[in-house]
Chains A and B, each alone.
Chain A
Amino acid sequence: MENQTLSRRNFLKSSAVTGTVFSLGFYWPNDAKSAKIIQATEADNFGVEMNSWVHIDTSGKVTIFDHRAEMGQGSYQAVPQIVAEELEVNLSEINVVFAPGDSKKYGNQVTGGSSTVRGSYKNLLKLSATAREMLIQAAATQWGVPKMECYAEGGHVMHKPSGKRKHYGELVEAASKLVAPKDVVLKKRSDYKLIGKPLRRLDTPLKTNGTAVFGLDKHIPGMLYAAVERNPRLRGKVKSFDDTGARKIVGVKNVFKVKMGVFNTYREGVAVVADSTWAAIQGKKALKVEWDDSGFEHLDTEEIYKRQAEALQTQEGLLFKTQGEPSEIIAKAAKKIDVIYETPYQYHAAMEPLNCIAHYQDDKLEIWGPIQAPEWVQDYISKEMSIPREKVIVNMTFLGGGFGRKAFMDYPHEAAVISKEIKAPVQVVWTREDDATQGPFRPGITYRCEGVISNGEIDAFKVRMAGQNNDHWRGGKKDVANRSTSEGFLKPYMDSIKNLAIMDVPFETPIPTMWWRSVYASTNGFAYESFLDELALEAGKDPLDFRRAYLKEERLQKLIDKIQEVSGWKDRKKGDGYGVAITECFASTVAQVVKVSRAPAGGVKIDKVWAVMDCGWYVNPDTIKAQIEGSVVMALGAATIHQVKFKDGMAVDNNFSTYQMPRITDIPPIEIYIMDNDADAGGVGEPGLPPFAPALTNAVFDLTGKRIRTLPFSLQAV
């Protein structure tokens, strides 16, 4: 029972729950799919600490753990909305607590791949229904009535014939002594009262009065602040430094060289520790550092794209998938399309710059910060600093945006190293300039697309990409093609195009690269969906009809019907400025139509965007709409406004003054529809992004006859 006591004590501390608690959790033997529902008393038998996903105390207050980061995508709303439905409680009675990093207790906690709901909803529904049934059983036993005469509603158990009712709080003690039933009956989707409804987010009020605690807002007693001057040449080293000026700044306490991990290598810098953020930043500015550029000074974006294009002329690459004889047909064809598409390096640009608090003590390390992947932080720091994994405690805060960047371990590691050096808790604050120039970035990709049209159909289809592969940094095999080449491209094309080849020409640069919202689909989508448009034109077909002919699945046909209907696709005339694209991302498919027209002041303006999302089973339609709105805006920036350029080994733009962002003045109306079907849940946070750029450039082509093959492009200059 030691574990149960421990667990409860920790829990009481973190959430202020009082009295007897009824709790249910999961035991994760290997992966989320086979999670077993357990009670506190059983946790001992499995040798795990009770994870207690759902707690109900004697006051009836329900507390649940959100096992995933909240970075805007809505896990803080989705998880309780799922639980409240089957548990039969009001959403307003649920208290949400961020689970600390502990993959043994909470399963996979890496918030990425749009996976929070799709990866856990079946488990959460079952867990909540199990808790409900146990509470009903407890009431039925107390009343001495058959369980089937009782039901739960609004945090109470009711006895239908007598009208008696008991609050959950009165039942928690009895329920906690029952054995959890093996198979509970889940509600029918048509009976849902909360799931599927556009309910307001639970975190919104915290975000309108300044009370939401982001990483940068966290404060630990005795905490100092640090800013770090890092080698601007990405992975270069410190040769020497002069800290005379920095130490003169009032409030500066300490200055020293610091080294932090960047994937399988290290980045060096000089840390300035002070008693306020401002003093630390001033001290950093006053440093004089001589850098060892380690050979990175020649790195240049134009050179990278030149070499990638050359590689695509000379190398076949690693084969991801092939069927038929695409290369033979292309070689013999009298007429073929052979085009290059380029997508830029991108910066994540979360509004909350990177930051992290670390407190290193004799035998343990405690971390607080905006973190997408707590378990990776534990793994990495444990290894790098020789601290037992369970002694690396990672506490979560709200994230001021993440987009993939905050799933990386460099900034917590750096904070830990600094805390160890100064023997005090410290918050390391990255300035916007640090955040914008150090990476990891979305890799810049070059595509070569070759195709042959015969009798109005695709006779051969060959796509090769050259660019840095995010998975290689993480230890992925370099001699086999991975998902990088195909993500975003609808799988049915790969069956219905008779002669097809998809290949990867791996390319390396010293630039650290990492996932960026929707990952490979964010760039692949542009190449594949632009190329399909070019093939449709060559075939003399309507771009949407052309796609429809290859996408036979009923779900996709319905999606196409919907986007056709809502966008008025069939009523348009050629040259009206309409473009379409359909992409898949993290188990969801999104179709978008963009309408453009000539702007009075010259160039092109976006009149409207229509989006249709098929994400199967879903929780909150308003969250889905918000995520698509946001994805379109983010895609608009990457397609038409900004890119990371490197010159002399450094990222050129270091703040929003030159790395321009989409603003309220740039945003077209966006009309969003969600498909209703019974398919399993797909991702929500990212799939809205990939189709926008190709739908836009296809629309620009329809209006102007100009084919955009390199992003970003200027709407004003078309």
Chain B
Amino acid sequence: MAKIILNINSKKYPLEADPQMPLLWAIRDLAGLKGTKYGCGVAQCGACVVHLDGEAVRSCVTKVSRAVGKKVVTIEGLSETNSHPVQKAWQDIDVPQCGYCHSGQIMSAAVLLREKPDPTDQDIDDAMAGNICRCGTYLRIRKAIHMAAEVQKKAVKG
């Protein structure tokens, strides 16, 4: 066990954790932020995606020690008012069904839109193929990402 400090959503969390513990469980069980989900534990489903210094990482296979000194952003910290362009598009199109995978879907999509503000379908396939949705909301995810890109463009211009 080691005493560590995690910076999650711009807040400091002093924690006592096994350095080998995946970041996922530190976020959920130790910091008590339950929006990031456990889906497979082996980086296959994307339900656990968070941002580590701005990069989308699978927190289920990222050791908590790797996050020390870096900025972790989880779904709870993506925006203060549920208003990131991706969140807004997800709401407008009613993307989620059960909703379990969508923290990860939204976190993956947010990085895609920062890197490629006007993504093609191929860009979306490349960025989102690592996120499984068992409810099968994929067509809406695609549509919502295109919509979020439009919203983001307008916000930049405006």
Residues of A in contact with B (beta carbons under 8 Å apart) = 70-74, 200-201, 203-214, 216-217, 219, 225, 250-251, 276-279, 281, 349-353, 398-403, 429, 431-433, 622, 626-627, 629-634, 655-657, 661-667, 669-670
Residues of B in contact with A (beta carbons under 8 Å apart) = 1, 18, 21-22, 25, 28-30, 32-42, 44-45, 47, 74-76, 78-79, 82, 87, 90-92, 94-103, 106, 124-125, 128-129, 131-142
> Nearest Cβ distance between residue A472 and chain B, in whole angstroms?
27
> Nearest Cβ distance between residue B140 and chain A, in whole angstroms?
7
Most central of A216, A225, A278 by chain B CB within 10 Å = A278
Given contacts A211-B35, A629-B139, A631-B136, is CB(A72)–CB(B129) below 8 Å? Answer: no
The B interface is mostly helix, strand or loop, or mixed, namely loop
B140:A629 contact, CB within 8 angstroms: yes
B40:A208 contact, CB within 8 angstroms: no
Instruction: Report A-chain residues with C-beta under 8 Å of the C-beta of B32.
Output: 219
Most central of B33, B36, B138 by chain A CB within 10 Å = B138
Most central of B29, B75, B92, B125 by chain A CB within 10 Å = B29
B135:A278 contact, CB within 8 angstroms: no
23 A-B residue contacts at CB 8 Å? Answer: A72-B96, A201-B96, A209-B78, A212-B99, A214-B37, A214-B100, A225-B29, A278-B18, A350-B100, A350-B134, A352-B39, A400-B100, A401-B98, A401-B100, A401-B135, A432-B42, A626-B97, A634-B136, A657-B44, A664-B124, A664-B125, A664-B128, A666-B138
A278:B25 contact, CB within 8 angstroms: yes
B41:A432 contact, CB within 8 angstroms: yes
| Chain B residue at smallest Cβ distance from A627 | B97
Instruction: Report A-chain residues with C-beta under 8 Å of the C-beta of B37.
Output: 214, 216, 351-352, 400
| Chain B residue at smallest Cβ distance from A666 | B138
A398:B99 contact, CB within 8 angstroms: yes
A632:B98 contact, CB within 8 angstroms: no
A204:B132 contact, CB within 8 angstroms: no
Instruction: Report A-chain residues with C-beta under 8 Å of the C-beta of B40.
Output: 432, 655-656
B102:A207 contact, CB within 8 angstroms: yes
A204:B94 contact, CB within 8 angstroms: yes
A276:B97 contact, CB within 8 angstroms: no
| Chain B residue at smallest Cβ distance from A213 | B34
Q: Nearest 4 pairs between A and B by C-beta?
A: A210-B35, A633-B136, A400-B100, A207-B99
With A72-B98, A351-B47 already in contact, 19 other A-B pairs whose C-beta atoms are closer than 8 Å: A72-B97, A204-B91, A205-B82, A209-B82, A209-B87, A212-B99, A214-B99, A214-B100, A279-B18, A351-B100, A352-B98, A353-B38, A353-B39, A629-B139, A656-B132, A663-B138, A664-B125, A664-B138, A669-B139
CB < 8 Å A-B pair total: 185
| Chain B residue at smallest Cβ distance from A210 | B35
B76:A210 contact, CB within 8 angstroms: yes
A664:B91 contact, CB within 8 angstroms: no
| Chain A residue at smallest Cβ distance from B130 | A663
The A interface is mostly helix, strand or loop, or mixed, namely loop
B42:A657 contact, CB within 8 angstroms: yes
The CA-CA distance from A387 to B12 in the complex, in Å, is 45
A634:B134 contact, CB within 8 angstroms: yes
B82:A629 contact, CB within 8 angstroms: no
Within 8 Å by CB of B101, from A216, A351, A353, A627, lies: A351
> Nearest Cβ distance between residue A699 and chain B, in whole angstroms?
19
B125:A665 contact, CB within 8 angstroms: yes
| Chain B residue at smallest Cβ distance from A73 | B97
B94:A661 contact, CB within 8 angstroms: no
A208:B82 contact, CB within 8 angstroms: yes
Instruction: Report B-chain residues with C-beta under 8 Å of the C-beta of A632.
Output: 136
Instruction: Report A-chain residues with C-beta under 8 Å of the C-beta of B38.
Output: 216, 277, 353, 429
> Nearest Cβ distance between residue B109 and chain A, in whole angstroms?
11
The CA-CA distance from A225 to B98 in the complex, in Å, is 24
Instruction: Report B-chain residues with C-beta under 8 Å of the C-beta of A432.
Output: 39-42
Within 8 Å by CB of A278, from B29, B34, B91, B106, lies: B29
A398:B138 contact, CB within 8 angstroms: no
> Nearest Cβ distance between residue A640 and chain B, in whole angstroms?
14
Most central of A203, A207, A212, A398 by chain B CB within 10 Å = A207
The CA-CA distance from A342 to B1 in the complex, in Å, is 53
> Nearest Cβ distance between residue B84 and chain A, in whole angstroms?
9
Instruction: Report B-chain residues with C-beta under 8 Å of the C-beta of A276.
Output: 21, 25, 29-30
B98:A398 contact, CB within 8 angstroms: yes
Instruction: Report A-chain residues with C-beta under 8 Å of the C-beta of B28.
Output: 277
Instruction: Report A-chain residues with C-beta under 8 Å of the C-beta of B78.
Output: 209
The CA-CA distance from A295 to B14 in the complex, in Å, is 51
The CA-CA distance from A57 to B92 in the complex, in Å, is 30
> Nearest Cβ distance between residue B89 and chain A, in whole angstroms?
9
| Chain A residue at smallest Cβ distance from B81 | A209
Instruction: Report A-chain residues with C-beta under 8 Å of the C-beta of B135.
Output: 72, 351, 401, 630, 633
> Nearest Cβ distance between residue B26 and chain A, in whole angstroms?
8
Instruction: Report A-chain residues with C-beta under 8 Å of the C-beta of B141.
Output: 664
Given contacts A200-B94, A276-B25, is CB(A351)–CB(B45) below 8 Å? Answer: yes
Instruction: Report B-chain residues with C-beta under 8 Å of the C-beta of A277.
Output: 25, 28-29, 38
> Nearest Cβ distance between residue B68 and chain A, in whole angstroms?
17
Instruction: Report A-chain residues with C-beta under 8 Å of the C-beta of B21.
Output: 276, 278
Given contacts A401-B98, A657-B42, is CB(A351)–CB(B132) below 8 Å? Answer: yes
> Nearest Cβ distance between residue A189 and chain B, in whole angstroms?
23
Given contacts A350-B134, A630-B97, is CB(A210)–CB(B129) below 8 Å? Answer: no
| Chain B residue at smallest Cβ distance from A198 | B94
B102:A208 contact, CB within 8 angstroms: yes
Within 8 Å by CB of A431, from B1, B41, B47, B100, lies: B41
The CA-CA distance from A665 to B87 in the complex, in Å, is 22
Instruction: Report B-chain residues with C-beta under 8 Å of the C-beta of A278.
Output: 18, 21-22, 25, 29
Given contacts A277-B29, A664-B125, is CB(A629)–CB(B91) below 8 Å? Answer: no
A661:B124 contact, CB within 8 angstroms: no
Within 8 Å by CB of B96, from A207, A431, A666, lies: A207
A622:B99 contact, CB within 8 angstroms: no
A662:B136 contact, CB within 8 angstroms: yes
> Nearest Cβ distance between residue A278 and chain B, in whole angstroms?
4
> Nearest Cβ distance between residue B46 and chain A, in whole angstroms?
10
The CA-CA distance from A400 to B97 in the complex, in Å, is 9
| Chain B residue at smallest Cβ distance from A630 | B136
Within 8 Å by CB of B131, from A71, A204, A664, lies: A664
Instruction: Report A-chain residues with C-beta under 8 Å of the C-beta of B47.
Output: 351
Instruction: Report A-chain residues with C-beta under 8 Å of the C-beta of B39.
Output: 351-353, 432
The CA-CA distance from A634 to B142 in the complex, in Å, is 17
Instruction: Report A-chain residues with C-beta under 8 Å of the C-beta of B1.
Output: 250
The CA-CA distance from A612 to B97 in the complex, in Å, is 20
A400:B98 contact, CB within 8 angstroms: yes
> Nearest Cβ distance between residue B25 and chain A, in whole angstroms?
4
The CA-CA distance from A213 to B99 in the complex, in Å, is 10
The CA-CA distance from A622 to B141 in the complex, in Å, is 15
> Nearest Cβ distance between residue B148 and chain A, in whole angstroms?
11
| Chain B residue at smallest Cβ distance from A278 | B25
Instruction: Report B-chain residues with C-beta under 8 Å of the C-beta of A631.
Output: 136
A626:B137 contact, CB within 8 angstroms: yes
B138:A400 contact, CB within 8 angstroms: no
A205:B140 contact, CB within 8 angstroms: no
Instruction: Report B-chain residues with C-beta under 8 Å of the C-beta of A205.
Output: 82, 91
Within 8 Å by CB of B139, from A214, A353, A433, A667, lies: A667
Instruction: Report A-chain residues with C-beta under 8 Å of the C-beta of B98.
Output: 70-72, 350-352, 398-402
> Nearest Cβ distance between residue B16 and chain A, in whole angstroms?
10
Given contacts A629-B139, A669-B139, is CB(A351)–CB(B134) below 8 Å? Answer: yes
